[in-house]
Structure 1
Amino acid sequence: MEEWQDWQKYLVAFFFGLIASAVILLIARRPTGIPLTLYPPPTPQPYQVHVDGAVNSPGVYTLERGSRVHDAVKAAGGTTESANLREINLAAPVKDGQKIYIPSMDETPIPSGTKQGDKPLVDLNHASFEELMTLPGIGEDRAREIIQYRESHGGFSELEELMNISGIGEATFEKIKPFIFITP
């Protein structure tokens, strides 16, 4: 084998140096990318609840998430002497946009399971999907829309609100009216 000449040794050393420099640069180079900015989680918004009926100061109140009906009644100054709390679940959680109605003793709520003729009455604020479909002119789509409406509006506060649902006009409402009622 012949011996390498000086220029060949320098050329090989130069290439090894070049490769070593490239490896060092690749290892030492910071990764490129888009920097992430971390923000704190959003603060949950408080609930707005309408308290009405036999309370000392009816109105709209701001309550913390996780509040209960008794918190809403307390915010409204408590109940009046004529309040009928027998049918009210004070431990129920409140929802944003809900209307809480406290009846008075002289109001006669229609108990669940009562009948109009041979048909049971349906409580719009608590009826199941299947119960809603027993109403005249109410099929699966309308029953779904009724449930969607009551969940997004905190329930029905009057029977006529049923006409806010698409497909339920005055004629349909008049057919349904004898078979429905609402409780808070």
Structure 2
Amino acid sequence: MNQSTQQQSKKESRPDLFYLALAVLFGFGVGGLILILNKRPKLEPIQILPTTTPVLMAVHVSGAVQKPGVIYVARDTRIGEVIDEAGGFSVDADQDSLNLAAYVYDGQRIHVPSLTEVSVQPLEDQDESFSYPININHCSVDDLISLPGIGETKAAAIIKYREANGGFTTVEDILNVSGIGPSIFSDIKELITVK
């Protein structure tokens, strides 16, 4: 009986050895696969940067400058920089007639008067009537004050918005100005333009 027990024990241990060997091989296979996967180079995401090409604006410079004409400048350019691009002031330019620190906007015309240019009418004799519609991209504070519901504070806010944002693209853009609401807009919308 002792011999048959030994034979039976040998038969039972053979499948155990087989499964043990299979488990060891499986472990080596998984371990090798992990090593292979860890040795592959890690891919880093590609970062797409925005283009740095500035959008150019056309500004017409005329009058007492060295090279009058159309100048192409980037957004956030000031009048003084445009005058420099036009070769600077001519010797007879009235350099104090312009705010050189103001921003320009696309399609703007900058006229540099000469010292010898005279106004058509003396200031006291000028007619107070304005021609409507007024272009809110080119008008003065006085032009804006002539509009119903617009005083000095709102006119200054409109000019400030215009200079900070490169002008208005539609008349409805004036609603973005602090203090201009739908009520005022309905009163002035027929009296203003952006063209």
TM-score by length of structure 1 reads 0.49
Higher helix content, 1 or 2: 2
User: Which has the higher relative contact order, 1 or 2, with Cα contacts under 8 A spaced 6 or more apart?
Assistant: 1
Structure of higher CA gyration radius: 2
TM-score by length of structure 2 reads 0.47
